[in-house]
Amino acid sequence: MGADRTLIEKSAMGIVGLLKRGEVSPLDLIDTLEQRIAEVDPAINALPTLCLDRARDHARRLMERKPEERGMLAGLPVPIKDLVPVAGVRTTFGSPIFADNVPAESESIVRRLEANGGIVYAKSNTPEFGAGGHTFNEVFGTTVNPWNRERSAGGSSGGAAAALATGCAWIAHGSDMAGSLRTPASFCGVVGLRPSPGRVPSGPDSNPYGMLAVEGPMARNVTDAALGLDAMTGRDHSVPIASADSGGMFLEAARSPRKPVRIAFSADLGLTPVDPAVEAAFHDAIGRLEGAGLPMVEACPDFTGAHQAFQVLRAVAFAIATGPLLEAHRDLLKPEIVWNVEKGLALDGRAIIEAERERVRLFQAVCEFLETNDVIVCPGAIVPPFPRGERYVGECNGRKFETYIDWLAITYGFTLVSLPVICIPCGTTVDGLPAGLQIAGRPGGEAELISIARTIEDALGDWRPRDPPEFVVA
């Protein structure tokens, strides 16, 4: 068959169905992606590193098996974020320090995806070491928003989000600490799913006990994201907090949408200013959910103290992961990383103890809140996609921020208390830029969250304009 442009608009589930019926081959998909990337990526810069020969070799090995024996992804190509090593493929972490790095071994999440029938064909762009909500670095440059190429695609999984939105991927790997799956999903009009810590293990890791950073799937709809999550789960003995294999329960949950008893919603979580354009899109979405008969109540847990606790614990995580590079390569690290590492190294024990105590208090308050509310919904980002030339959002609605991550509070509030969260498209601003809706569920409750998210997705209906921009297919 070879390249077939009609395939790029299909869902991941639709493509997997074609693969399992033998109507397309993994090689056909790689040919299709190669053609689409050549058309789109010079303008978007989502997938700066391709490994198509490696992908075709893997596809041929996979095609020696019967379609039903090729795993749940059955030969579906998947891009890997450039923070995760893939054997034999240039992996830079978005940093000049590792500009020529070619690892000999893949991390366990890559091996797991490949064991489940995924084929790695590209690395997606990311900011240096995933730091910040805007995808730019000194190695590959800036990934731009397919809806407006003068705007940011978000970060740090901006390359993955832009690839999905332009038909250069069907599902994608991403990661999230302060919203890195959710902010780009909101900016690009796709889905980003942040699982509970340990649900998607990967190693080896410099901080295997860390609870802030997780890996997870991105896709164009909730069901495809659930498929991606199933393919990423599994035991990993190098990760002490790893959960068990999902057994396919997340896809099953997506196929069984459930109407919640009570949905709490808040435009700001009591944490942050919100741009009026985002707030208008959010309240329009809430109105549509109410019109569909979903039980909505305006309420949220008390997140007082989340800013300080998250800043401290994030700084500790950066000092652990990136601290060793500071002395040897300080001049090659971007200033935001230098600041984050130095903040972590300067902390005393009392500050860390207080941050941990505050996290426990917030977690308990959120758990109590979720006893009577099935989920909490809020905007996926506090601003629409911002100009590509800005490093981060410095102010919103008249309030200036002190650090480069303050504008991400609406996402890192959920990170701090370890909730699984999915961000789905919910509409556009008056300027035609995507707006996302975060849906946060109970700790460890990904299946319930996905089931409710499917209900919300159906209630919102088709959010896309009739004539999307040139490269957008999502």
The helix (H) or strand (E) run that includes residue 52 is helix 52-62
The DSSP letter of residue 64 is T
Residue 378's φ and ψ, nearest 5 degrees, are -160, 175
Our answer to whether residue 156 is catalytic in this structure is: yes
Tell me the backbone φ, ψ of residue 421, rounded to 5 degrees: -140, 140
The one catalytic residue in 10, 81, 123, 334 is 81
User: Among 25, 180, 243, 418, which one carries the catalytic annotation?
Assistant: 180
The H or E element spanning position 145 is strand 144-145
Structure tokens belonging to residue 274:
């919100």
∠ CA 304-127-73, rounded to 5°: 95
* Burial of 349: CB neighbours in 10 Å, binned 0-12, 13-18, 19+: exposed
The per-residue b/e assignment along 262-291, b for 16 or more CB within 10 angstroms, e otherwise, is ebbbbbbbebbbbbebbbbbbeebbebbee
DSSP letters for 98-136 = GTT---SS--HHHHHHHHTTEEEEEEE--SGGG-SSS-E
Q: How far is CA 60 from CA 70, 224, 403, 430, in A?
A: 12, 24, 49, 47
Which positions ≥6 away from 63 have C-beta within 8 Å? 25, 26, 27, 75
**Separation CA 286–CA 382 (nearest Å):** 16
Alpha carbons 217 and 422: distance in angstroms, whole number: 10
3-state class of 89 per DSSP?
strand
- Placement of tokens 């057994």 in the chain: 247
Q: Of 156, 157, 186, 196, which residue is the catalytic one? A: 156
> What is the chain's Cα-based Rg?
20
Residue 180 appears among annotated catalytic residues: yes
Catalytically active residues, by annotation: 81, 156, 180
